[in-house]
């Protein structure tokens, strides 16, 4: 019954016209697409893709760290209505009949959580204070009596100061590990795997070090995202087996954007990769313009029949 209800609203998704506000700014939209080796779309004689009927499934939403009315007020149907036209542009057609439905497209959306930098936390500040106190102590006072030629470089150890520094250092290291875990979670959610892997390792002083910094700056900035995961519906319906055929992940930074206004342009741009393998991250600026429908004018009344 739940699946039938999901199929039931399918055709209505394309029936609602609406004005679209694309936000009025240029920004980077990232898209990542993967396909199963078993998924091959059929092309018609004119080169277009054959229609593939689908049903939507509610995957769920991921709330950001702060309240954001532009996304918090949207529900599953709002997001589905917006994504349905871009899907139709690639000949993915909503279906009412489970017997002819080919795909179950699960929809996930939300805002990533930017991890807190250890260097900006109170723990890190305490570590810096402790380290500064230790350095000041070791650099102060007369050197101990010694006949060594290096005596002037030696200072007595302050075990208490070193012990005090160890605690904040360990805490800062723990926070950095948590930051790395949060970064990796965002990488997987956004589809940034290829960039993450390409910039991994010790590449200090090379171009890859710059790439890594750019990556971290991007994924550690809150981003709006949508994930579409298309499953083999007949296999799920008849045999209760889950087989992922394709997935598309697309996102844009939250700063200076509103999810409800920018989602149509994001989805339309990402649509060219629906059901396609991007072979890594597609990462380029897109125009997020504004559609002005003008003043609404009456063309007169038509007598009812």
What are the C-alpha distances in Å from 165 to residues 26, 121, 124, 152? 46, 15, 10, 25
The percent of residues above 90 in pLDDT, for the chain, comes to 41
**pLDDT of the residue at 114:** 75
The percent of residues above 70 in pLDDT, for the chain, comes to 62
Mean pLDDT over residues 123-143, rounded?
51
Residues 67, 285, 105: CA angle, nearest 5 degrees: 65
> For the chain, what is the mean pLDDT?
76
Q: Is 15 exposed, middle or buried (0-12, 13-18, 19+ CB in 10 A)?
A: exposed
The full set of domain ranges for the chain reads 2-114+223-290, 118-141+152-218
Q: The pTM is what?
A: 0.69
**pLDDT of the residue at 126:** 53
pLDDT band at 73 (very low <50, low <70, confident <90, very high): very high
Compute the distance between CA of residue 111 and CA of residue 229 in angstroms, rounded to an integer: 18
**pLDDT of the residue at 289:** 56
The SS3 assignment for 24 reads strand
**pLDDT of the residue at 181:** 75
Give residue-wise pLDDT tens across range 143-164: 555 444 444 444 445 555 555 5
In sequence order, what are the beta bridge partners of 55?
A: 104
pLDDT band at 139 (very low <50, low <70, confident <90, very high): low
Q: Is 49 exposed, middle or buried (0-12, 13-18, 19+ CB in 10 A)?
A: middle
Mean pLDDT over residues 87-110, rounded?
95
Q: Is the pLDDT of residue 71 over 50?
A: yes
Q: Which residues of 104-120 are buried (b: 16+ CB within 10 A; e: fewer)?
A: bbbbbbbbbbbbbebee
pLDDT band at 304 (very low <50, low <70, confident <90, very high): low
Are 254 and 64 in contact by the 8 Å Cβ rule? The answer is: yes
Among 25-29, 97-101, 256-260, where is mean pLDDT lowest?
25-29
pLDDT band at 9 (very low <50, low <70, confident <90, very high): very low
**pLDDT of the residue at 22:** 40
Q: Is the pLDDT of residue 98 over 70?
A: yes
Q: Is the pLDDT of residue 300 over 70?
A: no
Q: Is the pLDDT of residue 107 over 60?
A: yes
């Amino acid at each position: 019954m739940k699946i039938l209800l999901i199929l039931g609203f399918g055709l209505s998704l394309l029936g609602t016209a609406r004005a679209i506000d694309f936000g009025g700014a240029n920004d980077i939209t990232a898209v990542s697409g993967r396909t199963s080796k078993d998924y091959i779309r059929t092309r018609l004689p004119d080169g277009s893709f054959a229609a593939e009927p689908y049903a939507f499934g509610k995957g769920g939403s991921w709330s950001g760290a702060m309240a954001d009315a532009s996304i918090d007020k949207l529900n599953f149907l709002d997001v589905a209505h917006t994504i349905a036209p871009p899907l139709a542009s690639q000949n993915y057609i909503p279906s009412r009949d489970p017997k002819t439905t080919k795909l179950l497209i699960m929809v996930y959306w939300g805002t990533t959580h930017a991890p807190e930098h250890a260097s900006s936390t109170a723990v890190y500040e305490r570590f810096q204070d402790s380290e500064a106190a230790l350095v000041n102590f070791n650099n102060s006072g007369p050197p101990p009596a010694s006949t060594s030629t290096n005596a002037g470089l030696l200072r007595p150890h302050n075990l208490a100061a070193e012990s005090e520094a160890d605690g904040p250092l360990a805490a800062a290291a723990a926070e950095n590990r948590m930051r790395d875990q949060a970064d990796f979670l965002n990488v997987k959610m956004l589809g940034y795997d290829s960039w993450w892997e390409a910039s991994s390792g010790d590449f200090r002083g090379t171009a890859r070090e710059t790439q890594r910094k750019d990556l971290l700056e991007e994924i550690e900035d809150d981003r709006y995202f949508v994930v579409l995961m298309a499953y083999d519906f007949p296999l799920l319906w008849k045999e209760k087996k889950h087989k992922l055929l394709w997935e598309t992940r697309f996102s844009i930074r939250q700063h200076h954007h509103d999810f409800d206004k920018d989602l149509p342009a994001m989805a339309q741009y990402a649509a060219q990769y629906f059901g396609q393998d991007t072979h890594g991250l597609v990462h380029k600026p897109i125009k997020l313009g504004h559609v002005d429908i003008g003043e609404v004018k009456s063309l007169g009344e038509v007598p009812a029949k």
